[in-house]
Amino acid sequence: MEKPYQNKNELLARCEQIRLATTGIVAKHINKRFSLPISRWVVTHTRWTPNQITYFNIFLGLLSGFVASKGTLFSLFIGGLLFQIVSIMDGVDGEVAKLTNTSSQWGQWLDTISDNGSLASFMIGISVGLYRIDPQGPVISLTITTFGAIAFMIGTMLIFLKKETNSGSLVTYDKEFLSTIQPDQFPIASRAIHALKYGVKKDFYSLIFFLACLFQKPSWVLYLCAYGGIIACVFMAYIHIMTWIDRECGSVPLQGERFL
């Protein structure tokens, strides 16, 4: 793996550039404080590739769900802690790729698989764990709603990425679609989406999940995901449908291929 840095100061400066360019509040001010030192150590002391780090993170994500499924408040806390660690480590593979100039399209798709796989694992785990604690509670209905909303949102993003870009990163969906929507096009929906998109960033929701488990309120995770997911799906569907109608009717100039 290429190590293009001649001295420590040059590497530190590049790491700070990466941190400052990060948009998520939690990622920028919390997660990057942990992930960047790890990335620096990987670059200077190992020959690990970004994809190898992603494979390890997939394992941690699966482990977080397995532990959470045990059905005790302590196991749910440990599962939430592991999921927060997954969120921090999720930045390491991308940082190493940037620091060593080894980014690839397969790596982007693999990172997307890691993100969504670890989320699915943890959500299944916490659902099973909560059901074991309280079989009579609303766990099943909340879980079905949550996974339905997640499937719709991720499916919409992946279809857009496949048809409109050469990227496999969900971050590209924000840059190439959401960020291009002008407030005067869809005043209410666009503002709602721009507010909600910070809530669906992994760095944000993983911290919320961890805090909910830390304070022994793991059921809040399912309530937040279920109701927040419904709201996000409604606005996302509305914006995609209206954008498609506007482009088909010619009221919005075409810029390449059509959207969904």
Which pairs from 74-77 meet CB under 8 Å and 24+ separation? 75/129, 76/126, 76/129, 76/130, 76/213, 76/218, 77/213, 77/214, 77/216
Calculate the CA 255 to chain-centre distance. 27
pLDDT reported for residue 6: 61
More confident residue, 243 or 127: 127
CB 79 within 8 A of CB 127: no
pLDDT above 60 for 1: no
Residue ranges of domains in the chain, CATH in brackets: 8-249 (1.20.120.1760)
Question: How does pLDDT run across 79-115, given as a tens digit for each residue?
Answer: 999 999 999 999 999 899 888 888 787 888 888 889 8
d(CA 31, CA 85): 9
End-to-end CA distance of the chain: 39
Calculate the CA 215 to chain-centre distance. 23
pLDDT reported for residue 243: 78
Label residue 251 by pLDDT band (50, 70, 90).
low
Category of 156 on φ-ψ map: left (φ > 0), alpha (ψ -120 to 50) or beta: alpha
Which DSSP letter does residue 200 get? T
pTM for the structure as a whole? 0.79
CB 112 within 8 A of CB 170: yes
- Mean pLDDT across 116-122: 91
Residues in the chain: 260
Q: Tokens for 71, please give them.
A: 């059905």
